[in-house]
Amino acid sequence: MQISPQELGAAICEISVFIILLIVGIMLIERYQKRKINNILILAICLLIFSIAPLMQTLDIFYFTDFFAPKEVALGYNLAFSMSAYANILLLLFYLRVYVEESTKVNIIVVIYAIFNILNTILLINTSIQLMINNITIDRTLFMVIHLALSMALYIYMVIQSTKSANKDVTLKVRRGFQLITGFGICLILTFAFFLMDFVWIILFVSPYSIWLYIGWVCGATGAILAYLGYIMPDWLKRRWE
């Protein structure tokens, strides 16, 4: 099994992003232990699940290097999308708890969103399982488009709500916090936009990797850092805007 420089570079990038997301998630858990605020715990678990996504995509090395018999099995790709879908469920719960008063309506919205995401990821992963076990090829494009649509709808909602909150009559510190959270949402939108460009690049140029993949993961890691700074806001940052 020979690994090309492209594949090795992608793996290093993905593992680096995993480490960054993991560190941010752990920092949030440490903050939760001090303040016991449930929203912090929800965001921490969300980012920890997100961190698994780039780690799962490192599995792509094996099928691009003929480790798996059917080369078309994008197992890592599908698992990465699935992890981001599960993280999105917690992200929606976090945002609704922050911007909307907790109610039965909020819980129903989260449950419906969760059902759609879970069913879609089961079907997405099944495309890999069927090819690996039964040698049956199933087009996964539809499931990927559904995941993209569900994700983009959530991220756009995040940006809109954060922007509205930042424009309210609030203190400079609070406004900057909302602006950083807006940046988190924008980074997530860019992450998926670059992943889409990577997917199109693969189809057009029959190449396993493109620069868009690296940029996408960098945007994801940057977003996690902005989420931490915006919601937790360390003391050194608070002093800057007080």
What is the rounded average pLDDT of the residues 212-219? 87
Contact 109, 89 (CB under 8 A): no
pLDDT at 195: 84
CA separation for the pair 160, 175 (Å, rounded):
14
16-66 confidence digits (pLDDT tens):
999 999 999 999 999 999 888 888 999 999 999 999 988 887 776 665 555
pTM (two decimals): 0.84
- Using 50, 70 and 90 to split pLDDT, how confident is the model at 70? very low
pLDDT at 30: 92
Q: Which of 4-13, 19-28, 229-238 has the lowest mean pLDDT?
A: 4-13
Of 206, 195, 63, 65, nearest to 131 (Cα)? 63
Compute the CA torsion angle 125, 68, 133, 57 (nearest 10 deg). -10
Write a three-state SS string for the chain. CCCCHHHHHHHHHHHHHHHHHHHHHHHHHHHHHHHCCHHHHHHHHHHHHHHHHHHHHCCHHHHHCCCCCCCCCCHHHHHHHHHHHHHHHHHHHHHHHHHCCCCHHHHHHHHHHHHHHHHHHHHHHHHHHHHHHCCCCCCCHHHHHHHHHHHHHHHHHHHHHHHHHHCCCCCHHHHHHHHHHHHHHHHHHHHHHHHHHHHHHHHHHCCCCCHHHHHHHHHHHHHHHHHHHHHCCCHHHHHHHC
For 5-241, CATH number out of 1.10.357, 1.20.1070, 3.90.320, 1.10.10 equals 1.20.1070
pLDDT at 97: 84
* Dihedral sign computed on CA atoms, order 42, 229, 18, 183: positive
What is the rounded average pLDDT of the residues 158-169? 84
Q: Which of 64-68, 141-145, 188-192, 214-218 has the highest mean pLDDT?
A: 188-192
